[in-house]
Amino acid sequence: MKLNDLLYKESEWLKAEGPKSNVAISTRVRVARNVAGHLYFNRANSAARAETLEMMIKAIKKSKLLKKTLLVKINDISNLDKRFLVERHLMSREHTQNSEFKALAIEESEIVSVMLNEEDHLRLQVMQSGFNVMETWRIVDEIDTELERILHFDYSDKFGYLTSCPTNTGTGMRASVMLHLPILAMTAQIENVFNAISKLGLTMRGFYGEDTEASGDFFQISNQVALGHSEMDVLDNLERIIRKIIHKEESARGELFQKRKEELIDRVHRSYGTLKNARIITSSETIKLLSAIRLGVDLGLLKDITISDVNEVLLLTQPAHLQKINGEEIAPYDRDLKRADLIRQKLVK
């Protein structure tokens, strides 16, 4: 597998095949680990960073669970490819910075990716379609256990797994679910949701996680604290709260459809009409319109489109993906033209 092959593959988390995928786009679980006896990345010199990186690459190659894995050294790829990998949620924006002595391992189905020498030595993440917290954790735990036998992670009996950032110390785990909540946003209930989950140890972020704002009514909800709680405590809390939010969104959809059906039909078909006929369109406008279409598909207002179709267009119309499809970097105005062309090709069947 080569990096460019990803462009023509359907990411697992976009398939809309998981539980409650009408509301939950994806579930992600990530663990941060550091190799015992090695200076952490932000304190190490170039020689130490290079040594730790090569050790981790060898460990991944030894792994039986990561046999079919593409290894990419971040310094060897273009800035466009870096943005492309961020858009696919395979690595963080932080991993694209100061990219020497950093690497990324990508399992062929894109369920698993491993960032090497990001903030911590190793950040293992698994993403699944839909609302699938425990199965996602099971895969992470299995791979984490295997890699720990090879690498020996930095661990304290008192504090748990030691990490560069104190907020990750303990389990070293961040678990999140990406939700599409158009009706809770439309009816101004999102602020109440945010306030409620903040009191319960969770936080709400945008489409690309930390330091990003929500757009198109897409929200990423994750745990805030890793220290002092077991993995099961964190996962149970997340699963219980997400289940309630999904139920609240589904109930609100049904209720609003009964009370304001024509308004919803108008919103969905206006959005569909704009996307089918636009000749130039920005990324932010596309996300907002696709949000309405995704809602329309779930409500049965659009029969010839699936949620998977909407998810695919949502990803392919991101700036780096458009440029990868085009084969080169292109200016923002030209991207807006190309985006409109691609949407018409994908949505007009």
The letter for the amino acid at 157 is D
pLDDT score, position 211: 44
- Give yes or no for residue 27 having a pLDDT over 60: yes
Q: Start-end ranges of CATH 3.30.590.10 in the chain?
A: 3-253
- Give yes or no for residue 182 having a pLDDT over 90: yes
pLDDT score, position 200: 87
Residues 93-133: pLDDT tens digits? 999 998 999 999 999 889 999 999 999 999 999 999 999 99
| Mean pLDDT, range 327-331, rounded to an integer | 93
Contacts of 302 (CB under 8 A, 6+ apart): 268, 272, 293, 296
In degrees rounded to 5, what are phi and psi of residue 191?
A: -60, -40
pLDDT score, position 214: 55
Is-contact 152 177, C-beta < 8 A?
no
Q: Which two tokens stand for residue 227?
A: 């220290």
pLDDT score, position 212: 45
Report d(CA 145, CA 59) in Å as an integer.
12
DSSP per residue, 161-226: E--SSGGGTBT-EEEEEEEE-HHHHHTT-HHHHHHHHHTTTEEEEBTTBTT---BTTEEEEEES--
> Which fold does the domain 3-253 belong to in CATH?
Creatine Kinase; Chain A, domain 2 (3.30.590)
Residues 279-325: pLDDT tens digits? 999 999 999 999 999 999 999 999 889 999 999 999 999 999 999 99
The pLDDT confidence band at residue 229, using thresholds 50, 70 and 90, is confident
Q: What percent of the chain has pLDDT over 70?
A: 97
Residues 8-18: pLDDT tens digits? 888 888 899 99
Which carries the bigger pLDDT value, residue 166 or residue 140? 140
Contacts of 263 (CB under 8 A, 6+ apart): none
- Give yes or no for residue 257 having a pLDDT over 90: yes
pTM of the shown model: 0.92
Is-contact 88 112, C-beta < 8 A?
no
Is-contact 128 111, C-beta < 8 A?
yes
